Amino acid sequence: NAGVTQTPKFRILKIGQSMTLQCTQDMNHNYMYWYRQDPGMGLKLIYYSVGAGITDKGEVPNGYNVSRSTTEDFPLRLELAAPSQTSVYFCASSYEGRNNEKLFFGSGTQLSVL
């Protein structure tokens, strides 16, 4: 009963490096999301996907890319890491049916860019 799994849990990057944050869900949810959480701030939506092959920008997409080749996986790519991308990243999924607005979150990835 894994739910939403994110890896890695922690990562330190140097400015200009790239990396991919992995996210997998085993609940057959069609919707998936990436959020970032900065200290003292609410969660901000980076990108989301309504199904395999379909992605769209959220509030703060700059500096990130995503892909959704399968229902289960929704990786987030940072191409040129910047200090402003230091944050905690959460992946989430949901089944967007009638009256179902419940998101399931992973445990987060703490990223520091130095």
Partner 1 sequence: GNSVTQMEGPVTLSEEAFLTINCTYTATGYPSLFWYVQYPGEGLQLLLKATKADDKGSNKGFEATYRKETTSFHLEKGSVQVSDSAVYFCALRATGANSKLTFGKGITLSVRP
Three-state DSSP state, 23: strand
In whole angstroms, what separates CA 46 from the centre of its chain? Answer: 7
Choosing from 19, 27, 52, 103, the residue that interacts with partner 1 (CB under 8 A) is 103
CB of 14 to partner 1, least distance (A): 26
Q: Pick out residues in 17-46 that bind partner 1 (CB under 8 A).
A: 33, 35, 37, 40-43, 45
Distance CA 86, CA 98 (A): 36
Distance CA 96, CA 80 (A): 33
108 binds partner 1 (CB under 8 A): yes
Contact in structure between 103 and 2 (CB atoms under 8 Å)? no
When the beta carbons of 13 and 48 are compared against partner 1, the nearer one is 48
Q: Which stretch binds partner 1 (CB under 8 A): 10-18, 63-71, 79-87, 98-106?
A: 98-106
Contact in structure between 7 and 28 (CB atoms under 8 Å)? no
Q: Pick out residues in 43-72 that bind partner 1 (CB under 8 A).
A: 43, 45, 48, 58
Distance CA 48, CA 94 (A): 11
Interacting residues toward partner 1 by CB under 8 A: 4, 33, 35, 37, 40-43, 45, 48, 58, 90, 92, 99, 101-108
